[in-house]
Amino acid sequence: MTPPETIFPTDLFEEGRRAMPLQPGAMLLGGFASPGADALLADLHRVAEVAPFRKMVTPGGWQMSVAMTNCGSLGWMTDRTGYRYDALDPWTGNPWPEMPETFRCLAERAAEVAGYARFDPDSCLMNRYEPGSRLSLHQDRNERDFDAPIVSVSLGLAATFLWGGATRSGKPMRVRLFHGDVVVWGGPARLTFHGVDTLRGSVSLAGEFRYNLTFRAAR
């Protein structure tokens, strides 16, 4: 087994060329996860065997078009009673699967490269998009502490990520996120409104889904 710290060598990542600020506090690390993408996908499928992807229902009663699951000591969920983090998977009654070492290592290193030292995520929300899936503009504010950043990893099909400002109004900015791209959102960008445009299907070597991992310090 390749040790995860050798798959994501911070010193080989060409920061000047592939790190791009999206707004103050938000950094796109183009292709940062590419060297370890196969290992990440293998671990993702292992997690999903224990905690399957499922389409959750919002408090308003709508079924989400994105299928989700979690790993780590806390998992984000929604149902008719609200949004929250929970230590147990409501589908199985068991704790969420442990966060794989590959996941944790990637998240810590990406945060470090983006300027957030000692990121210690206790939750990874895993999103699975199929053609037609979308995520409407929202803020991530169920975490206890907004000082920690959120690290997002895109795998599989490309998608158009949308982000606005501190309010829902106004025309969101758009950026394509590709297999292996990582975005770190912290500081003044932490409560930015964001979402994902409707995924377009395409026959692709990347498969039939887009996956997004978001690492959070939720406790």
The residues that touch Fe ion, with contacts defined as CB under 5 A, are 140
13 near ligand MD3, judged by CB under 6 A:
no
Closer residue to ligand MD3, CB minimum distance, 9 or 90: 90
Cα 67 from Cα 52, distance rounded (Å): 9
- CA nearest 70: which of 125, 10, 112? 125
102 near ligand MD3, judged by CB under 6 A:
no
119 near ligand MD3, judged by CB under 6 A:
no
69 near ligand MD3, judged by CB under 6 A:
no
127 near ligand MD3, judged by CB under 6 A:
yes
Bridge partners, residue 57, by sequence: 63
CB 191 to ligand MD3: min, Å: 6
196 near ligand MD3, judged by CB under 6 A:
yes
- CA nearest 92: which of 44, 49, 43, 40? 49
Tell me the residue nearest to ligand MD3 as measured from the CB: 212
110 near ligand MD3, judged by CB under 6 A:
no
The gap from C-alpha 76 to its chain's centroid, in whole angstroms, comes to 12
- CA nearest 123: which of 4, 29, 217? 217
Rg of the chain in Å (alpha carbons): 16
Positions 140 through 179 that interact with ligand MD3 (CB under 6 A): 140, 150, 152, 161
Q: At what angle do helices 37-50 and 101-113 cross, to 10 degrees?
A: 130
- Binding site partner of 99, from Fe ion, ligand MD3, none, Cβ cut-off 5-8 A by kind: none
